[in-house]
Homo-oligomer: A and B are copies of this chain.
Amino acid sequence: MSQQSAQRKGRPPRISRAEIIETAGRIVDAEGVDRLTMRRLAKEIGSTPMALYHHVRDKEQLLVLLLDDYAARNLHRPDLPDDPRERVVVVAAAIRRTLAACPWIVEVLTADDLMSEAALWFVEQIMDGLVACGLTADEAVHAYRAIWYYTAGEMIVRAAGERRRADGDRPTYRERVFADADAAELPRVAGVASRWAELTAEDTYLDGLRALVDGLLAAPASPTARAASRRSRS
């Protein structure tokens, strides 16, 4: 535990995990996440690729560490409204606003859950709001997860859409599929086909979030019905 006095063993470190994360963050901010490679990072830091492996397990862990660092510095706690339901919405929206500003989260999201220390306060507020609205602790966990699924999905799908729009105006595959939609067989789809891109470009995260939270908090099925549905799942 007392490492400043006892430098007796081995050679002193030249690079630190903090330095690795900081440099990695700079590369990612400046050039995007797929320009971050262990070799490139080592060069930037003035070391060799293998030196990095003494401080992080592998590239995947580095990415998770990077997002934790980002969350710790950018996840600002919002003012909490009194109404517990509104608290849930406001806190979820705060998570999403911060993470959506960081276009490479998708890479990490698909590698691991975001569950940094900095995020725990947000989870706490969401769960507390849900419990204050009448959910049990277990129900609150499941409801929180549903909110997280919706939030993560929105960010990922939106990021994919933006990437698609970014690299070239080549007529997207989806547009061709829609154009082929038969109005007789698929009237609803055909009816909005021409406006699909425009409609799905709108940011409706908040509307959907409110609907989800309302639904999660609406008078649920009776306890017996819930128990039955739980049984049928296992």
Contact = CB atoms under 8 A, between A and B. Distances in A.
Interface of A: 61, 64, 106, 109-113, 115-117, 120-121, 123-124, 127-128, 131, 137-138, 140-143, 145-146, 148-154, 156-157, 159-161, 163-164, 172-174, 177-178, 180-181, 185-189, 191-192, 196, 199-200, 202-204, 206-208, 210-216, 218, 229, 233
Contact of A186 (B121, B143, B180, B214): B121
A204 B173 contact: no
What is the total number of copies of this protein in its complex? Answer: 2
Contacts of A112: 160, 164, 172-174
Task: Pick the most buried of A64, A111, A199, A203: most chain B CB atoms within 10 A of its CB.
Answer: A199
Task: Pick the most buried of A159, A181, A203: most chain B CB atoms within 10 A of its CB.
Answer: A181
Contact of A174 (B111, B113, B206): B113
Nearest to A114: B174
Given A112-B173, A233-B203, A196 B141 contact: yes
